[in-house]
Chains A and B, each alone.
Chain A
Amino acid sequence: MNSVIGLVVWIVFYPLIAFTVGVFLGGYGRKFTARVQRRVGPSWIQPFFDVIKLMRKRTNISHGYMHDISLMMLVSGTMLSLYFIPVPGFHYFSQFGDFVVIIYLLLIPSLGMALGVGETANPNGSIGISRALQMLFGYEVPFVLTFIGMAMLNGTTSMYELVQIQQSGGIATWGIVTHPLLGIAALFALQGMMNEKPFEVIIAPHEIATGPMTEMGGKYMGMMFIQHLINLFVELTIYANLFLGGAKNWFELLFKLFVLFTLILSVNSVFGRFRTDDAMRFMWKIPLPLAAIGVVGIMLGIG
Chain B
Amino acid sequence: MSELVTANDGSSLMPGAKSLENREYNLFIGPNHPGVEGNFALKLTLEGDTIVKAKTEAGFLHRGFEKLMEERLFIQNIAIVCRICVPDPDPNEENYARAIEALADIEVPRRAQFIRVLVLELSRLASHLFTFGGHAGTIGLYTMPNWSISDRDRILDLFEELTGGRVYHIYNMPGGVRRDFPAGFASRVRDVLDYIEGRLPDYDNLFFNNRILRKRAVGIGVLPRERAMEWGTTGPNLRAAGFAHDVRKDDSYEVYNELEFDIPTLKDSDAYSRLMIRRKEVVQTIGIIRQVLDKIPEGPVWNKQPNPLKWRVPAGDVYVRSESSKGEYAYYMVSDGGVRPYRVHVRGASVTHGVHILENLLVGTRIEDASQLMFSLDACPPEVDR
Contacts and interface: CB of A to CB of B under 8 A. Distances in A.
Given A271-B141, A272-B210, A209 B34 contact: yes
Interface in B116-164: 136-143, 146-147, 150
Contacts of B143: 33, 36-37, 269-270
A206 B137 contact: yes
Given A37-B142, A123-B25, A274-B212, A209 B368 contact: no
B271 to A, nearest CB: 13
Given A200-B140, A274-B212, A38 B367 contact: no
Contact of A127 (B141, B146, B367): B367
A53 interface: no
Given A123-B27, A205-B35, A275 B366 contact: yes
A96 B35 CA distance: 47
Contact of A124 (B27, B371, B372): B27
Contacts of A272: 136, 139-141, 210, 212-213, 216
Interface in B5-56: 25-27, 29, 33-35, 49
A198 B140 CA distance: 8
B304 interface: no
Contacts of A123: 25-27
Given A271-B210, A273-B212, A206 B138 contact: yes
Contacts of B210: 270-272
A26 B35 CA distance: 25
Contacts of A124: 27
A158 to B, nearest CB: 38
A259 to B, nearest CB: 21
Given A200-B140, A272-B140, A273-B139, A38 B33 contact: no
A278 B147 CA distance: 27
Nearest to B213: A272
A207 interface: yes
B140 A206 contact: yes
A197 interface: yes
Given A271-B210, A272-B141, A278-B215, A204 B147 contact: no
Size category, B interface: 20 to 34
Interface string B364-377: 00111111100000
Interface in A263-303: 269-276, 278
A208 B139 contact: no
Contacts of B215: 274-275, 278
A58 interface: no
Nearest to A204: B140
A264 to B, nearest CB: 15
Interface string A1-43: 0000000000000000000000000000000010011110000
B206 interface: yes
B146 A205 contact: no
B137 A38 contact: no
B35 A207 contact: yes
Nearest to B35: A206
Given A123-B25, A269-B143, A272-B139, A205 B34 contact: yes
Interface centre among A36, A198, A275, by most B CB within 10 Å?
A275
Interface string A174-214: 00000000000000000000000110100011111110000
Contacts of A209: 29, 33-35
B368 A207 contact: yes
A250 to B, nearest CB: 32
Contacts of A210: 34
A142 B27 CA distance: 34
Interface in B218-262: none
Nearest to A39: B146
A273 B147 contact: no
B370 A207 contact: yes
A273 B49 CA distance: 17
Contact of B212 (A33, A36, A198): A198
A123 B138 CA distance: 19
Contacts of A205: 34-35, 140
A278 B34 CA distance: 22
Contacts of A198: 140, 212
B36 to A, nearest CB: 9
A210 B29 CA distance: 12
A163 B143 CA distance: 37
Nearest to B28: A123
Interface string A89-133: 000000000000000000000000000000000011001000000
A39 B27 CA distance: 34
A273 B138 CA distance: 9
A111 B182 CA distance: 63
B35 A275 contact: no
A127 B49 CA distance: 8
Nearest to B205: A270
B199 to A, nearest CB: 11
A197 B150 contact: no
A206 B371 contact: yes
Interface of B: 25-27, 29, 33-35, 49, 136-143, 146-147, 150, 206, 210, 212-213, 215-216, 366-372
Top 4 A-B pairs ranked by shortest CB distance? A272-B139, A37-B146, A206-B35, A273-B140
8 contacts: A38-B146, A38-B150, A206-B138, A206-B371, A209-B33, A270-B210, A272-B136, A278-B215
Interface of A: 33, 36-39, 123-124, 127, 197-198, 200, 204-210, 269-276, 278
